[in-house]
Amino acid sequence: MNRQGHIGMAILAGSAVLYVTPALSILPAGVLIAAAGIGGLLPDLDHKTSTVSNKLQFSAKMRKQLKGLSALSLAMGILWFVLEQPMPWLWAAAGLIFTLASRLRMLLLSGLGLLLLAGYELYNLHWLILLTGAALLVMPFVKHRGIIHSPEFASALSLGVISFTATQPVLFQALGLGLLAGWWSHLVGDAVTVEGIRSVLLPRLKVALNLLRNGGAGERWIARSCWLCSIALWLTIFY
């Protein structure tokens, strides 16, 4: 499922959670719905060119150019070194910067992951930080629809978010609930496509209902229907 379908389903999932949650005022309700929309896209951080991944990196063309510049800088550095010109390492440093820029997504995800792991270690934070940090750290290196799309990871994340937000103000609880609603709706959305989702512990356990083609007309209809149902739910909640 692509962005359109995932957002629609996530908004509907968030609206359904809102419907069964004891009356929230408008601000936490809005936070819950917005968080659901974001949560519905987050699992595809494990995809190199998904909507959410593309927010963290330069365009494909730019990445290619950066890689070219990096190779060029490195070659210049070697030339400078061989010709005994001053400061050949400046070229090498430039090459490294170009390489890092071409891999910005990896740098941001793994960097944030390491930061969270350090925070967990140094400040004795909740284990949700450990889980999130570890997931972000490995995100650029795991395969799409692997561990991050597994029901096991979603279950651990749910336990973490619920136990962490239980003691927090209502706004945080709304944020956590929304994220989880969006996250699970994403798995449901992927489970109805031919690629499906699978368990990490029991890789044979796979749900691929093959009801929907990625990005097809069916998905557009589902997205529209989800939005309509969500609006109907909001009307019943707030009037």
Question: Which residues, numbered 128-147, are part of the site for Zn ion (CB under 5 A)?
Answer: none
Least spacing, CB of residue 41 vs Zn ion, in Å: 9
Largest interatomic CA distance in the chain:
78
1 vs 129 by CB, closer to Zn ion: 1
- Measured CA to CA, the distance from residue 100 to residue 107 in angstroms comes to 7
User: Is 44 near Zn ion (CB under 5 A)?
Assistant: yes
**Using the 8-state DSSP alphabet, how is residue 50 labeled?**
S
Which residue, 31 or 41, has its beta carbon nearer to Zn ion? 41
What is the phi-psi region of residue 212: left when phi exceeds 0, alpha when psi lies from -120 to 50, beta otherwise?
Answer: beta
Site stretch for Zn ion (CB under 5 A), options 52-60, 114-122, 133-141, 182-190: 182-190
Beta bridge partners of 193: 212
Q: Which two tokens stand for residue 17?
A: 């959670």
Region from 44-52, 104-112, 130-138, 210-218 binding Zn ion, contact rule CB under 5 A: 44-52
Q: Select the span of 78-86, 152-160, 190-198, 228-236 touching Zn ion (CB under 5 A).
A: 190-198
Residue closer to Zn ion (CB basis): 46 or 161: 46
What's the CA gap between 192 and 209, in Å, rounded? 5
Residues 6+ apart with CB under 8 A from 154: 183, 184, 187
Nearer of residues 92 and 195 to Zn ion, judged by Cβ: 195
Half-sphere CA count of 85, side-chain side, radius 13 A: 12
219 binds Zn ion (CB under 5 A): no
Choosing from 120, 190, 223, 226, the residue that interacts with Zn ion (CB under 5 A) is 190
Q: Residues interacting with Zn ion, by CB under 5 A?
A: 43-44, 190
